[in-house]
Amino acid sequence: MTPFSAERLLFDPATPESDAIPVVFAFPNTYSVGITSLGYQLVWATLAMRSDIAVRRLFTDLSESLPSDTEILGFSLSWELDYANILSLLESLDIPVRSHQRRDSDPLIFGGGPVLTANPEPFADFFDIVLLGDGEDLIPAFFDAYQEVRHASREEQLRRLAQVPGVYVPSLYEVRYTAPDGAIAEIVPVEAQVPPYVSKQTYRGNTLSASPVVTELAAWPNIYMVEVVRSCPEMCRFCLASYLTLPFRTASLEGSLIPAIDRGLQVSDRLGLLGASITQHPEFEALLDRLDSDEYDNVRLSIASVRTNTVTPKLAQILSKRDTKSITIAVESGSERLRKIINKKLENDEIVQAAVNAKAGGLKALKLYGMVGLPGETEEDLAQTVEMMLQVKKAAPGLRLTLGCSTFVPKAHTPFQGFGVRPEAKKRLKTLQKELRSRGIDFRPESYNWSTIQALISRGDRRISQVLELVRGYGDSIGSYKRAFKQLRGKIPNLDYYVRENYESDRILPWHHLHGPLPPETLRKHLEDARQSMVTV
């Protein structure tokens, strides 16, 4: 029995035509991880339902039988450091790692997913094509356009595909620098027919996604996932999940959400509700009432992070009844001053009340997400975070309390994209650890050092591809990145340029030619609002 035979499909794959396009769609990680990605599932199912495409899947630990005449090889990239697995998979298929080395006989290599949509430039030299944005309309448009130039030369194919909205062909854009180790001077198309800008594509329907496949071999066994909302209306100034995915969209309750849930529960009793802010769905109360009815008695329910002021005793009670033990809320800081700077519309009283409500509803644990190193943060803000956690512990005794804490990392297409990682964040993580653990509060910090690597990739330009290839050879460690930068000294900027420098608002950023949902002037306005708060609060 293969892992693929254990899958329960909620769609009908098409029978490929005799001249169907041979496509391989890969996830650069293990099968259990990849098949748990709703985005990967959806693109695969979209391709599998087309009779003009013969799609096979590839993971790092297994694959379906792969065609020898593959025309298109796609990757879904959800985690930055999985890039090394992409390079390994290309080599295992005897495909050159860099796009400029590929010939007409090699398949076109495309990539998509949140990492590449945010900033594809560190990986641009590895891909022929990057798909920017939501796949619902973009994937069909891309393959329809490919059909038109299927038998043309590679050069002609790329030129034609670059005309499709959201399809980015990195080789058709030249990045010029003030010096080999200097700033970007300009980013220009290599010829007049190439669009000067590529815009992220946004799906605007009210039928959102749901799992097309369920399997016990997923990282979350037998999970059936339903997207309740897409994006987040809160727009915290640092948040990629909000700014990159705007506008906020909600699934129609009776039109798509309930039917999708009921369809999935025919093959699984484990339901996962997904979205950055699911409790802000305008009909979330009605959804809760439905899930509280007797017909869902055997369902195990899990939900994504929820907004603090929506944690009611009713929500906690229903979750507890449906086999959920804990709930997660993002608070970022215990400082109301700092939360105003980052546009986190939340007060400490609401956090305390959420804990009280969680316990009253029968939940056993509450996990809070925090962040250090945010722009404008001071030592006093840190002290207020400790005080806030103590207030929560006192108000809800017996509730297992955890604070997970990351370091601020600048993200493309957000107002805070120009701020660097603050070196004092490393010490502040240790301060919180000492203060909270000594008081019996579970503190789980994310690695500061790996946060700096996230920032490198988040704000990196094409020159970073040289670093990534060297690191892959040296080994996956922080020291490998330092070694790579040392070897490339004088040829590219240093590590601090990408990670710690604060950029002026007029700097040309690596994604200057790639447009997100909001124009640069809007991001600058939001940044100015934050700066005003730093002064006035």
Residue from 275, 333, 335, 334 nearest 307 by CA: 275
Residue labelled with tokens 């997100």: 516
| Domain assignment present for 473 | no
- Collect contacts of 203-206 with beta carbons under 8 A, ≥24 apart: 203/133, 203/134, 203/135, 203/136, 203/137, 203/230, 203/249, 204/247, 204/249, 205/136, 205/249, 206/249, 206/250, 206/251, 206/252, 206/255, 206/256
Domain boundary among 168, 184, 199: 199
Q: What is the pLDDT of residue 41?
A: 98
What is the tally of structural domains in the chain?
A: 2
Query: From CA 103, how far away is CA 125, in angstroms rounded?
Result: 15
Asked if residue 313 is part of any domain, the answer here is yes
> Does 163 share its domain with 52?
yes
Strand (E) or helix (H) holding 223: strand 223-227
What parts of the chain have a pLDDT lower than 70? 1, 536-537
DSSP state of 451: H
DSSP lists the bridge partners of residue 330 as 369
310 in the same domain as 444: yes
Q: Is residue 459 part of a domain?
A: no
pLDDT of residue 277: 87
Tell me what pLDDT residue 536 has: 67
Q: What is the distance between the alpha carbons of residues 118 and 122, in angstroms, rounded to a whole number?
A: 11
Q: Are 232 and 295 found together in one domain?
A: yes
Among 209, 211, 169, 218, smallest CA distance to 191 is for 169
In this structure, which amino acid lies at residue 346? L
- Three-state secondary-structure class, residue 469: helix
Domain boundary among 449, 467, 483: 449
The CA angle 496-100-90, to the nearest 5 degrees, is 85
**Buried/exposed code over 26-54 (b: 16+ C-beta within 10 A; e: otherwise):** bbbbbbbbbbbbbbbbbbbbbbbebebbb
Give yes or no for a contact between 436 and 428, defined as CB atoms under 8 angstroms apart. no
Report yes or no on 148 lying in a domain. Answer: yes
Residue 282 lies in a domain: yes
CATH of residue 378's domain is 3.20.20.70
| Same domain assignment for residues 192 and 230 | no
Model pTM greater than 0.85? yes
Q: Are residues 192 and 227 in the same domain?
A: no
> CA-based diameter of the chain, in Å?
69
Instruction: Quote the CA–CA distance of 154 and 27 in Å, as a whole number.
Output: 24
Cα(423)–Cα(477) distance, integer angstroms: 19
Secondary structure (H, E, C), 482-504:
HHHHHHCECCECCHHHHHCCCCC
* Four-CA torsion 151, 156, 162, 168, nearest 10 degrees: 90
Q: Are residues 266 and 405 in the same domain?
A: yes
- Claim to verify: residue 15 and residue 59 sit in the same structural domain: yes
Tell me whether residue 92 is in a domain.
yes
Q: Verify that 260 and 358 share a domain, yes or no.
A: yes
Q: How far apart are the first and last CA of the chain?
A: 62
Domain span including residue 161: 3-199
Residue with tokens 């293990």: 30
Is the preceding peptide bond at 120 cis, omega within 30 degrees of 0?
no
Q: How confident is the model at residue 206, as a pLDDT?
A: 84
Our CA dihedral for 274, 234, 76, 117, rounded to 10 degrees, sits at 160
Asked if residue 512 is part of any domain, the answer here is no
Structure tokens at 450: 């790996």
162 and 68 in a common domain: yes
CA distance readout (Å), 401 to 310, 390, 442, 497: 18, 10, 6, 38
Helix residue ranges, H only, 3-50: 31-34, 38-48
Query: Radius of gyration of the chain from Cα atoms?
Result: 24
Contact present, 121 and 128 (Cβ < 8 Å): no
CA-to-CA dists, residue 535 to 146, 338, 339, 344, angstroms: 53, 11, 14, 17
Question: What is the structure's pLDDT at 1?
Answer: 62
pLDDT of residue 199: 97
Q: Are residues 164 and 270 in the same domain?
A: no
Domain of residue 129, CATH code: 3.40.50
Domain final position from 449, 466, 499: 449
CA distance 421 to 456: 10
The answer to whether residues 248 and 184 belong to one domain is: no
Residue 489 in domain: no
Q: Are residues 274 and 144 in the same domain?
A: no
Instruction: Tell me which residue has tokens 């043309």.
Output: 152
What values do phi and psi take at 259, rounded to 5? -60, -40
CA distance 481 to 358: 43
